[in-house]
Structure 1
Amino acid sequence: MKRIACLHGHFSNISLLADAFAPVEMDMVHYVDPGLLLNSEGNNALTKEQSQAKLVEQLNWMKTSDPDAMVITCTQYAACLTDEVEATSSLPIFTIDKPFFHEITHCSEPQILLFSNPATVEPTMTRLREYAQTKGLYPRIEVNVMEGAFALLMENKQDAYREAVKNELQKLSTGKHHAALSVAQLSMAPVAHQFTQETGIAVSHPLLSLVSQMIQKLNLKSFA
Protein backbone atom coordinates (compact mmCIF):
# COMPACT_ATOMS: atom_id res chain seq x y z
CA MET A 1 0.00 0.00 0.00
CA LYS A 2 1.36 3.40 -0.98
CA ARG A 3 1.86 6.08 1.65
CA ILE A 4 1.08 9.71 0.86
CA ALA A 5 2.38 12.56 3.04
CA CYS A 6 -0.02 15.52 3.04
CA LEU A 7 0.79 19.13 3.94
CA HIS A 8 -2.10 21.31 5.12
CA GLY A 9 -2.29 24.95 6.14
CA HIS A 10 -5.36 24.25 8.26
CA PHE A 11 -6.47 21.09 10.09
CA SER A 12 -9.93 21.14 8.43
CA ASN A 13 -8.31 20.03 5.17
CA ILE A 14 -7.45 16.65 6.70
CA SER A 15 -11.03 15.39 6.67
CA LEU A 16 -11.69 16.85 3.21
CA LEU A 17 -8.79 14.93 1.71
CA ALA A 18 -9.50 11.78 3.72
CA ASP A 19 -13.12 11.73 2.55
CA ALA A 20 -12.14 12.29 -1.07
CA PHE A 21 -9.67 9.40 -1.02
CA ALA A 22 -11.82 7.09 1.12
CA PRO A 23 -12.48 4.67 -1.80
CA VAL A 24 -8.75 4.53 -2.65
CA GLU A 25 -6.27 2.02 -1.27
CA MET A 26 -3.60 4.21 0.33
CA ASP A 27 -2.13 5.28 3.65
CA MET A 28 -2.20 9.01 4.39
CA VAL A 29 0.07 10.83 6.84
CA HIS A 30 -0.98 14.40 7.64
CA TYR A 31 1.19 17.39 8.52
CA VAL A 32 -0.46 20.67 9.54
CA ASP A 33 1.29 24.01 9.91
CA PRO A 34 -0.63 27.30 9.55
CA GLY A 35 2.55 29.32 9.99
CA LEU A 36 2.73 30.51 6.38
CA LEU A 37 -0.91 31.62 6.47
CA LEU A 38 -0.50 33.48 9.74
CA ASN A 39 2.61 35.29 8.50
CA SER A 40 1.39 36.31 5.06
CA GLU A 41 0.45 39.91 5.87
CA GLY A 42 1.49 42.77 8.14
CA ASN A 43 4.88 43.71 9.56
CA ASN A 44 5.86 40.07 10.11
CA ALA A 45 4.98 38.91 6.60
CA LEU A 46 7.49 36.47 5.14
CA THR A 47 9.31 37.38 1.95
CA LYS A 48 8.97 35.21 -1.12
CA GLU A 49 12.35 33.64 -0.43
CA GLN A 50 11.47 32.98 3.23
CA SER A 51 8.19 31.37 2.22
CA GLN A 52 9.92 29.12 -0.29
CA ALA A 53 12.49 28.13 2.32
CA LYS A 54 9.66 27.34 4.74
CA LEU A 55 8.09 25.00 2.19
CA VAL A 56 11.38 23.18 1.62
CA GLU A 57 11.63 22.73 5.39
CA GLN A 58 8.11 21.26 5.42
CA LEU A 59 8.85 18.88 2.56
CA ASN A 60 11.95 17.59 4.35
CA TRP A 61 9.83 17.11 7.48
CA MET A 62 7.28 15.10 5.49
CA LYS A 63 9.96 12.85 4.00
CA THR A 64 10.72 11.49 7.48
CA SER A 65 7.55 9.38 7.25
CA ASP A 66 9.04 7.57 4.23
CA PRO A 67 6.18 8.34 1.82
CA ASP A 68 5.82 7.33 -1.84
CA ALA A 69 4.54 10.80 -2.78
CA MET A 70 3.65 14.15 -1.23
CA VAL A 71 0.62 16.37 -1.69
CA ILE A 72 0.22 20.06 -0.79
CA THR A 73 -3.40 21.01 -0.13
CA CYS A 74 -2.77 24.63 0.85
CA THR A 75 -2.75 27.00 -2.14
CA GLN A 76 -0.39 29.35 -0.34
CA TYR A 77 2.18 26.60 0.25
CA ALA A 78 1.62 25.36 -3.32
CA ALA A 79 2.44 28.81 -4.66
CA CYS A 80 5.88 28.54 -3.01
CA LEU A 81 6.82 25.38 -4.89
CA THR A 82 9.51 26.27 -7.42
CA ASP A 83 10.25 24.33 -10.59
CA GLU A 84 13.73 23.63 -9.24
CA VAL A 85 12.48 22.07 -6.00
CA GLU A 86 9.92 19.99 -7.87
CA ALA A 87 12.44 18.83 -10.48
CA THR A 88 15.06 17.80 -7.92
CA SER A 89 12.64 16.07 -5.54
CA SER A 90 13.16 12.34 -5.19
CA LEU A 91 9.40 11.96 -4.69
CA PRO A 92 6.43 13.06 -6.79
CA ILE A 93 4.88 16.29 -5.43
CA PHE A 94 1.22 17.02 -6.14
CA THR A 95 -0.31 20.42 -5.45
CA ILE A 96 -3.97 21.23 -4.98
CA ASP A 97 -3.93 23.76 -7.81
CA LYS A 98 -1.96 22.25 -10.71
CA PRO A 99 -4.55 19.65 -11.84
CA PHE A 100 -7.17 22.36 -11.34
CA PHE A 101 -5.21 24.70 -13.61
CA HIS A 102 -5.43 22.09 -16.36
CA GLU A 103 -9.20 21.96 -15.96
CA ILE A 104 -9.98 25.66 -15.93
CA THR A 105 -7.48 26.70 -18.60
CA HIS A 106 -9.20 24.33 -21.03
CA CYS A 107 -12.59 25.93 -20.39
CA SER A 108 -13.66 28.07 -23.37
CA GLU A 109 -16.32 30.02 -21.45
CA PRO A 110 -15.74 33.16 -19.39
CA GLN A 111 -15.12 32.13 -15.78
CA ILE A 112 -15.36 33.55 -12.29
CA LEU A 113 -12.74 32.16 -9.90
CA LEU A 114 -13.66 32.69 -6.25
CA PHE A 115 -11.03 33.12 -3.53
CA SER A 116 -11.60 33.42 0.21
CA ASN A 117 -7.95 34.09 1.10
CA PRO A 118 -6.71 37.38 -0.44
CA ALA A 119 -3.07 36.45 0.19
CA THR A 120 -3.45 33.49 -2.16
CA VAL A 121 -4.72 35.42 -5.17
CA GLU A 122 -1.53 36.92 -6.61
CA PRO A 123 0.72 33.82 -6.35
CA THR A 124 -2.03 31.50 -7.54
CA MET A 125 -2.93 33.65 -10.53
CA THR A 126 0.75 34.04 -11.43
CA ARG A 127 1.14 30.26 -11.48
CA LEU A 128 -2.09 29.88 -13.44
CA ARG A 129 -1.02 32.38 -16.10
CA GLU A 130 2.40 30.73 -16.42
CA TYR A 131 0.75 27.32 -16.77
CA ALA A 132 -1.68 28.62 -19.41
CA GLN A 133 1.11 30.26 -21.42
CA THR A 134 3.13 27.04 -21.57
CA LYS A 135 0.06 25.36 -23.08
CA GLY A 136 -0.72 28.23 -25.44
CA LEU A 137 -4.06 28.84 -23.72
CA TYR A 138 -5.74 32.13 -22.85
CA PRO A 139 -8.66 31.49 -20.48
CA ARG A 140 -11.02 34.37 -19.68
CA ILE A 141 -10.94 34.46 -15.88
CA GLU A 142 -12.40 37.08 -13.56
CA VAL A 143 -11.13 36.91 -9.98
CA ASN A 144 -13.58 37.43 -7.13
CA VAL A 145 -12.24 37.78 -3.57
CA MET A 146 -14.33 37.36 -0.42
CA GLU A 147 -13.01 39.95 2.00
CA GLY A 148 -12.99 38.82 5.64
CA ALA A 149 -14.20 35.28 4.99
CA PHE A 150 -10.87 33.50 5.49
CA ALA A 151 -10.55 34.89 9.01
CA LEU A 152 -13.65 32.88 9.94
CA LEU A 153 -11.90 29.66 8.92
CA MET A 154 -8.71 30.52 10.78
CA GLU A 155 -10.82 31.26 13.88
CA ASN A 156 -12.41 27.79 13.49
CA LYS A 157 -15.83 29.28 12.70
CA GLN A 158 -16.35 26.73 9.97
CA ASP A 159 -20.16 26.94 9.79
CA ALA A 160 -19.99 30.73 9.38
CA TYR A 161 -17.23 30.35 6.79
CA ARG A 162 -19.19 27.86 4.70
CA GLU A 163 -22.32 29.97 4.92
CA ALA A 164 -20.35 32.97 3.64
CA VAL A 165 -19.03 30.94 0.70
CA LYS A 166 -22.51 29.65 -0.11
CA ASN A 167 -23.96 33.16 -0.06
CA GLU A 168 -21.21 34.42 -2.36
CA LEU A 169 -21.81 31.57 -4.82
CA GLN A 170 -25.52 32.35 -4.80
CA LYS A 171 -24.83 36.01 -5.52
CA LEU A 172 -22.39 35.24 -8.34
CA SER A 173 -24.65 32.66 -9.96
CA THR A 174 -27.56 35.11 -9.93
CA GLY A 175 -25.66 38.11 -11.19
CA LYS A 176 -23.49 36.66 -13.96
CA HIS A 177 -25.24 33.87 -15.82
CA HIS A 178 -22.74 33.99 -18.69
CA ALA A 179 -19.78 32.89 -16.59
CA ALA A 180 -18.75 29.46 -15.34
CA LEU A 181 -18.07 29.30 -11.59
CA SER A 182 -15.06 27.83 -9.81
CA VAL A 183 -13.66 28.03 -6.28
CA ALA A 184 -9.90 28.24 -5.90
CA GLN A 185 -9.29 26.66 -2.48
CA LEU A 186 -9.84 23.23 -0.97
CA SER A 187 -11.69 24.70 2.02
CA MET A 188 -14.50 25.78 -0.33
CA ALA A 189 -14.85 22.42 -2.10
CA PRO A 190 -17.61 20.95 0.15
CA VAL A 191 -19.70 24.10 -0.25
CA ALA A 192 -19.22 24.05 -4.02
CA HIS A 193 -20.29 20.40 -4.14
CA GLN A 194 -23.36 21.03 -1.99
CA PHE A 195 -24.28 24.15 -3.95
CA THR A 196 -24.20 22.18 -7.20
CA GLN A 197 -26.39 19.44 -5.73
CA GLU A 198 -28.94 21.93 -4.41
CA THR A 199 -29.11 24.28 -7.40
CA GLY A 200 -27.95 22.26 -10.38
CA ILE A 201 -25.40 25.00 -11.11
CA ALA A 202 -21.98 23.47 -11.74
CA VAL A 203 -19.15 24.85 -9.60
CA SER A 204 -15.68 23.47 -10.27
CA HIS A 205 -13.25 22.94 -7.40
CA PRO A 206 -9.70 21.61 -7.04
CA LEU A 207 -10.42 18.39 -5.15
CA LEU A 208 -11.91 16.33 -7.98
CA SER A 209 -9.07 17.03 -10.40
CA LEU A 210 -6.44 16.33 -7.71
CA VAL A 211 -7.91 12.92 -6.86
CA SER A 212 -8.16 11.97 -10.52
CA GLN A 213 -4.56 12.92 -11.28
CA MET A 214 -3.10 11.18 -8.23
CA ILE A 215 -4.98 7.93 -8.93
CA GLN A 216 -3.74 7.96 -12.50
CA LYS A 217 -0.10 8.93 -11.93
CA LEU A 218 0.47 6.81 -8.83
CA ASN A 219 -1.51 3.87 -10.19
CA LEU A 220 -3.68 3.77 -7.07
CA LYS A 221 -6.50 1.26 -6.73
CA SER A 222 -9.98 2.66 -6.28
CA PHE A 223 -12.85 0.63 -4.82
CA ALA A 224 -15.53 3.11 -5.95
Structure 2
Amino acid sequence: MSKRLGCLHAHYSNIDYIEKAFSPYDIECIHFVDPGLMHRVTSDENFHLADAENKVKEQIEWIAQCNVDAILLTCTNYIAILQEEQLSVSVPIIKIDEPYFASICRVKEPQLILFTNPATVEGTIDRLNHYAHSYQISIDFDVMVIDNTFDIFMKGKKEEYDQAITHFLDQIVKKEKRLISVAQLSMVDAARKVEDRSIINPLDTLISTVVNRLKINN
Protein backbone atom coordinates (compact mmCIF):
# COMPACT_ATOMS: atom_id res chain seq x y z
CA MET A 1 0.00 0.00 0.00
CA SER A 2 1.35 3.41 -0.95
CA LYS A 3 2.49 5.80 1.72
CA ARG A 4 1.03 9.31 1.56
CA LEU A 5 3.35 12.27 1.99
CA GLY A 6 1.71 15.64 2.62
CA CYS A 7 3.98 18.38 1.22
CA LEU A 8 3.68 22.03 2.23
CA HIS A 9 5.32 24.45 -0.22
CA ALA A 10 5.71 28.21 -0.39
CA HIS A 11 5.90 28.06 -4.19
CA TYR A 12 4.34 25.84 -6.86
CA SER A 13 7.71 25.19 -8.50
CA ASN A 14 8.73 22.85 -5.68
CA ILE A 15 6.05 20.31 -6.64
CA ASP A 16 7.91 19.06 -9.70
CA TYR A 17 11.17 18.53 -7.78
CA ILE A 18 9.43 16.47 -5.10
CA GLU A 19 7.35 14.44 -7.57
CA LYS A 20 10.43 13.48 -9.59
CA ALA A 21 12.45 12.68 -6.47
CA PHE A 22 9.95 10.18 -5.13
CA SER A 23 8.60 8.75 -8.39
CA PRO A 24 10.74 5.57 -8.03
CA TYR A 25 9.16 4.86 -4.64
CA ASP A 26 5.74 3.75 -3.51
CA ILE A 27 4.92 7.23 -2.22
CA GLU A 28 1.92 9.36 -3.12
CA CYS A 29 2.68 13.06 -2.69
CA ILE A 30 -0.23 15.32 -1.71
CA HIS A 31 0.72 18.95 -2.32
CA PHE A 32 -0.39 22.06 -0.45
CA VAL A 33 0.90 25.43 -1.67
CA ASP A 34 0.63 28.84 -0.02
CA PRO A 35 2.83 31.57 -1.52
CA GLY A 36 0.78 34.20 0.29
CA LEU A 37 2.18 33.54 3.74
CA MET A 38 5.77 34.51 2.95
CA HIS A 39 4.52 37.47 0.90
CA ARG A 40 2.66 38.81 3.92
CA VAL A 41 5.57 38.12 6.27
CA THR A 42 7.93 40.15 4.10
CA SER A 43 5.62 42.94 2.93
CA ASP A 44 2.74 43.46 5.39
CA GLU A 45 3.71 45.51 8.45
CA ASN A 46 0.44 44.59 10.15
CA PHE A 47 1.07 40.85 9.80
CA HIS A 48 3.05 39.85 12.87
CA LEU A 49 5.19 36.82 13.68
CA ALA A 50 2.47 35.41 15.92
CA ASP A 51 0.05 35.58 12.98
CA ALA A 52 2.51 33.68 10.80
CA GLU A 53 3.05 31.06 13.51
CA ASN A 54 -0.69 30.53 13.83
CA LYS A 55 -1.07 30.21 10.05
CA VAL A 56 1.66 27.56 9.76
CA LYS A 57 0.16 25.67 12.71
CA GLU A 58 -3.26 25.78 11.03
CA GLN A 59 -1.81 24.56 7.72
CA ILE A 60 0.05 21.62 9.25
CA GLU A 61 -2.87 20.50 11.37
CA TRP A 62 -5.11 20.63 8.27
CA ILE A 63 -2.63 18.50 6.29
CA ALA A 64 -2.38 16.03 9.17
CA GLN A 65 -6.13 15.44 8.92
CA CYS A 66 -5.82 14.47 5.24
CA ASN A 67 -4.81 10.86 5.94
CA VAL A 68 -1.09 11.35 5.36
CA ASP A 69 1.71 9.22 6.82
CA ALA A 70 4.15 12.13 7.15
CA ILE A 71 4.36 15.85 6.40
CA LEU A 72 7.23 17.40 4.44
CA LEU A 73 8.02 21.11 4.74
CA THR A 74 9.98 22.35 1.72
CA CYS A 75 10.36 26.02 2.67
CA THR A 76 13.07 26.96 5.17
CA ASN A 77 11.19 30.11 6.14
CA TYR A 78 8.10 28.03 6.94
CA ILE A 79 10.28 25.76 9.05
CA ALA A 80 11.80 28.73 10.86
CA ILE A 81 8.33 30.06 11.72
CA LEU A 82 7.01 26.70 12.92
CA GLN A 83 6.53 26.31 16.67
CA GLU A 84 6.44 22.54 16.79
CA GLU A 85 5.58 22.34 20.48
CA GLN A 86 2.26 24.05 19.73
CA LEU A 87 1.14 21.34 17.30
CA SER A 88 -1.42 18.69 18.12
CA VAL A 89 -0.50 16.21 15.37
CA SER A 90 0.80 12.66 15.60
CA VAL A 91 2.27 12.25 12.10
CA PRO A 92 6.03 12.79 11.63
CA ILE A 93 7.11 16.20 10.33
CA ILE A 94 10.11 16.12 7.99
CA LYS A 95 11.99 19.37 7.44
CA ILE A 96 13.78 19.52 4.11
CA ASP A 97 16.79 21.38 5.47
CA GLU A 98 17.75 19.01 8.31
CA PRO A 99 19.21 16.18 6.16
CA TYR A 100 21.02 18.90 4.17
CA PHE A 101 22.40 20.40 7.38
CA ALA A 102 23.48 16.96 8.57
CA SER A 103 25.43 16.46 5.35
CA ILE A 104 27.08 19.86 5.66
CA CYS A 105 27.97 19.26 9.30
CA ARG A 106 29.80 16.04 8.42
CA VAL A 107 32.29 18.07 6.39
CA LYS A 108 35.38 19.18 8.29
CA GLU A 109 36.90 21.24 5.49
CA PRO A 110 35.93 24.83 4.57
CA GLN A 111 32.81 25.09 2.42
CA LEU A 112 30.78 27.55 0.39
CA ILE A 113 26.96 27.65 0.50
CA LEU A 114 25.23 29.20 -2.50
CA PHE A 115 21.81 30.85 -2.79
CA THR A 116 19.93 32.67 -5.52
CA ASN A 117 17.11 34.04 -3.33
CA PRO A 118 18.44 36.58 -0.79
CA ALA A 119 15.20 36.30 1.23
CA THR A 120 16.00 32.71 2.23
CA VAL A 121 19.56 33.32 3.43
CA GLU A 122 18.96 34.58 6.95
CA GLY A 123 16.43 31.91 7.92
CA THR A 124 18.51 29.09 6.46
CA ILE A 125 21.78 30.16 8.06
CA ASP A 126 20.11 30.79 11.43
CA ARG A 127 18.73 27.24 11.33
CA LEU A 128 22.06 25.80 10.18
CA ASN A 129 23.89 27.47 13.06
CA HIS A 130 21.25 26.28 15.52
CA TYR A 131 21.47 22.74 14.14
CA ALA A 132 25.28 22.69 14.36
CA HIS A 133 25.22 24.16 17.88
CA SER A 134 22.69 21.56 19.07
CA TYR A 135 25.11 18.80 18.03
CA GLN A 136 28.16 20.75 19.26
CA ILE A 137 29.61 20.85 15.76
CA SER A 138 31.82 23.64 14.45
CA ILE A 139 31.55 24.32 10.73
CA ASP A 140 33.65 26.59 8.56
CA PHE A 141 31.53 28.12 5.80
CA ASP A 142 30.90 31.22 3.75
CA VAL A 143 27.68 32.25 2.02
CA MET A 144 27.32 33.65 -1.49
CA VAL A 145 24.21 34.81 -3.34
CA ILE A 146 24.25 34.39 -7.12
CA ASP A 147 22.93 37.83 -8.07
CA ASN A 148 20.27 38.62 -10.66
CA THR A 149 19.05 35.05 -11.07
CA PHE A 150 16.08 34.40 -8.79
CA ASP A 151 13.93 36.96 -10.58
CA ILE A 152 14.40 34.91 -13.75
CA PHE A 153 13.09 31.85 -11.94
CA MET A 154 10.08 33.72 -10.53
CA LYS A 155 9.16 34.79 -14.08
CA GLY A 156 8.86 31.11 -15.00
CA LYS A 157 12.02 31.04 -17.13
CA LYS A 158 13.44 27.91 -15.54
CA GLU A 159 15.66 26.88 -18.45
CA GLU A 160 17.29 30.31 -18.52
CA TYR A 161 17.63 30.22 -14.72
CA ASP A 162 19.27 26.77 -14.79
CA GLN A 163 21.68 27.89 -17.50
CA ALA A 164 22.72 30.95 -15.47
CA ILE A 165 23.38 28.88 -12.36
CA THR A 166 25.21 26.10 -14.23
CA HIS A 167 27.42 28.71 -15.91
CA PHE A 168 28.19 30.27 -12.53
CA LEU A 169 28.94 26.88 -10.96
CA ASP A 170 31.17 25.82 -13.86
CA GLN A 171 33.25 28.94 -13.25
CA ILE A 172 33.39 28.79 -9.49
CA VAL A 173 34.39 25.13 -9.22
CA LYS A 174 37.53 26.00 -11.21
CA LYS A 175 38.48 28.64 -8.65
CA GLU A 176 37.26 27.11 -5.40
CA LYS A 177 38.90 24.23 -3.58
CA ARG A 178 36.21 24.38 -0.89
CA LEU A 179 33.25 22.00 -0.86
CA ILE A 180 30.27 23.67 -2.53
CA SER A 181 26.57 23.22 -1.81
CA VAL A 182 23.37 24.83 -3.06
CA ALA A 183 20.76 25.62 -0.45
CA GLN A 184 17.54 25.86 -2.51
CA LEU A 185 15.43 23.27 -4.32
CA SER A 186 15.27 25.51 -7.37
CA MET A 187 19.06 25.16 -7.77
CA VAL A 188 19.14 21.34 -7.78
CA ASP A 189 18.80 20.69 -11.52
CA ALA A 190 21.57 23.13 -12.37
CA ALA A 191 23.89 21.74 -9.69
CA ARG A 192 23.44 18.21 -11.01
CA LYS A 193 24.69 19.29 -14.44
CA VAL A 194 28.11 20.28 -13.12
CA GLU A 195 30.39 17.38 -13.88
CA ASP A 196 33.69 18.52 -12.38
CA ARG A 197 32.65 18.35 -8.74
CA SER A 198 29.98 16.79 -6.58
CA ILE A 199 27.81 19.61 -5.24
CA ILE A 200 25.66 18.93 -2.19
CA ASN A 201 21.99 19.82 -2.60
CA PRO A 202 18.94 19.56 -0.31
CA LEU A 203 17.01 17.12 -2.52
CA ASP A 204 19.57 14.31 -2.71
CA THR A 205 20.03 14.44 1.05
CA LEU A 206 16.26 14.39 1.63
CA ILE A 207 15.30 11.26 -0.32
CA SER A 208 16.82 8.65 1.99
CA THR A 209 15.41 10.44 5.04
CA VAL A 210 11.84 10.34 3.73
CA VAL A 211 12.15 6.73 2.55
CA ASN A 212 13.47 5.67 5.95
CA ARG A 213 10.84 7.61 7.90
CA LEU A 214 8.04 6.11 5.81
CA LYS A 215 9.64 2.63 5.99
CA ILE A 216 9.59 2.16 2.22
CA ASN A 217 11.25 -1.00 0.97
CA ASN A 218 12.67 -0.45 -2.53
Q: TM-score, normalised by structure 2?
A: 0.91
How much does 1:89 deviate?
3.2
Q: What is the match of residue 54 of structure 1?
A: 55
The one-letter code sitting in structure 1 at the alignment partner of 2:76 is T
Deviates more, 1:7-16 or 1:75-84: 75-84
2:139, 2:46 → 1: CA distance? Answer: 31
Q: What is the match of residue 112 of structure 1?
A: 112
Once the two structures are superposed, residues 153-186 of structure 1 have per-residue CA deviations (whole angstroms, 9 ceiling, x without a partner) of: 222121222122212222321232x210100011
Flag structure 1 segments of 5+ consecutive residues without an equivalent: none
How much does 1:67 deviate?
0.7
Deviates more, 1:144-153 or 1:77-86: 77-86
Q: TM-score, normalised by structure 1?
A: 0.88
1:145, 1:53 → 2: CA distance? Answer: 31
Flag structure 2 segments of 5+ consecutive residues without an equivalent: none
Q: Could you say what the CA RMSD is over the residues aligned between the two structures, in angstroms? A: 1.9
Within 5 Å, give how 1:122-201 maps onto structure 2. Answer: 122-176=122-176, 178-195=177-194, 199-201=195-197
Once the two structures are superposed, residues 3-25 of structure 1 have per-residue CA deviations (whole angstroms, 9 ceiling, x without a partner) of: 11111122221111111111111
How much does 1:201 deviate?
0.8
1:202 to 193, 198, 204: 198
Deviates more, 1:164-173 or 1:14-23: 164-173
| Pair 1:213 & 2:212 matched | no
Once the two structures are superposed, residues 122-157 of structure 1 have per-residue CA deviations (whole angstroms, 9 ceiling, x without a partner) of: 111111111101111111110111233222222212
| Pair 1:19 & 2:20 matched | yes
Once the two structures are superposed, residues 179-205 of structure 1 have per-residue CA deviations (whole angstroms, 9 ceiling, x without a partner) of: 10100011111111122xxx2311000
Measured at CA, do residues 147 and 58 of structure 1 come closer, stay the same or move farther in structure 2, by a change above 3 Å?
farther
Q: Percent identity?
A: 35
- Higher RCO, 1 or 2 (CA under 8 Å, sep at least 6)? 1
1:149, 1:193 → 2: CA distance? Answer: 17
The one-letter code sitting in structure 2 at the alignment partner of 1:97 is D
Measured at CA, do residues 118 and 98 of structure 1 come closer, stay the same or move farther in structure 2, by a change above 3 Å?
same
How much does 1:30 deviate?
0.8
